[in-house]
């Protein structure tokens, strides 16, 4: 909380805008969802601009994947934990009892709402300074382009570069009711005699898991 107070200042934290930014819908009708919506766009613009300026030769695809890695729920929740945003949240009794102040989706949304709050109260320059400070070393240690590619893309590009057959994906099984299904997919690379399986809550993720396992086997054969 002291770190957040240092970044925001006591004057901003005393405003009604800040109060709404830290209020979850379970606690009050005047909650932070609209501010989170605004903050999401402000954050996206700040991060996009920073990446564009930092890496002038980066491709559009790399920039898109970088941005996605920096503004997804896990990344935002991680920053929210570092800033102890959960300690300030106003939650309803049910969310308090279930540990809502630790839930990734809630604290990630609260971080975006805070960005929206700063933008509304102090403008874009202040919002940008807050975001870049909060991200800290994350922006100084950006992941490489290859590490951000999804497993299917990495596998296909590697196989193409070596002249091997492209992977073939098949859906093997679907279990569970419509609202909660489990998918099992298979990845087959005939020229390397590789056959792997992945299981997940969506077909796409199951294929990605199978591709990741296949890529490991391909690298082991090098």
Q: Please indicate whether residue 112 is annotated as part of the active site.
A: yes
Catalytic residue of the set 95, 112, 186, 209: 112
Gap between the terminal Cα atoms of the chain: 50
Q: Closest Cα to residue 189, out of 170, 166, 172?
A: 166
Tell whether residue 36 is among the known ligand binding residues. Answer: yes
Strands 168-175 and 182-189: what pairing? antiparallel
Catalytic residue of the set 11, 16, 28, 40: 40
Tell whether residue 11 is among the known ligand binding residues. Answer: no
- Judge residue 89's burial from the number of C-beta atoms within 10 Å of its C-beta, 0-12 exposed, 13-18 middle, 19 or more buried: buried
Strands (E), 67-207: 168-175, 182-189, 194-200
> What gap in Å lies between CA 191 and CA 88, rounded to an integer?
57
Q: Please indicate whether residue 177 is annotated as part of the active site.
A: no
- Beta carbons of 106 and 25 less than 8 angstroms apart: no
Tell whether residue 125 is among the known ligand binding residues. Answer: no
Question: Which residues carry out catalysis?
Answer: 40, 112
Annotated binding-site residue numbers for Mg(2+): 36, 109, 112
């Amino acid at each position: 909380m002291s770190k957040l107070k240092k970044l925001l200042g006591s004057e901003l934290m005393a405003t009604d805008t800040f109060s709404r930014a830290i209020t979850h819908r379970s606690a009050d009708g005047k909650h932070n969802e609209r501010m989170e919506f605004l903050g999401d766009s402000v954050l996206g613009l700040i991060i996009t601009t920073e990446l564009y300026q930092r890496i002038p030769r980066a491709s559009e695809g790399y920039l898109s994947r970088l941005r996605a890695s920096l503004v997804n729920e896990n990344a935002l929740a991680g920053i929210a934990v570092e800033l102890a945003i959960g300690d300030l949240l106003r939650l309803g009794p049910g969310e308090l009892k279930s540990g809502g102040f630790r839930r990734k989706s809630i604290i990630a949304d609260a971080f975006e709402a805070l960005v929206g709050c700063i933008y509304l109260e102090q403008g874009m320059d202040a919002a940008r300074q807050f975001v870049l400070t909060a991200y800290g070393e994350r922006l100084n240690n950006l992941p490489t382009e290859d590490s951000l590619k999804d497993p299917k893309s990495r596998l296909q590009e590697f196989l193409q570069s070596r002249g091997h057959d492209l992977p073939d994906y098949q859906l093997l099984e679907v279990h569970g009711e419509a609202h909660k299904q489990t998918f099992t997919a298979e990845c087959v690379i005939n020229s390397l005699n590789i056959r792997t399986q992945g299981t997940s809550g969506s077909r796409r993720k199951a294929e990605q898991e199978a591709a990741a396992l296949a890529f490991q086997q391909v690298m082991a054969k090098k």
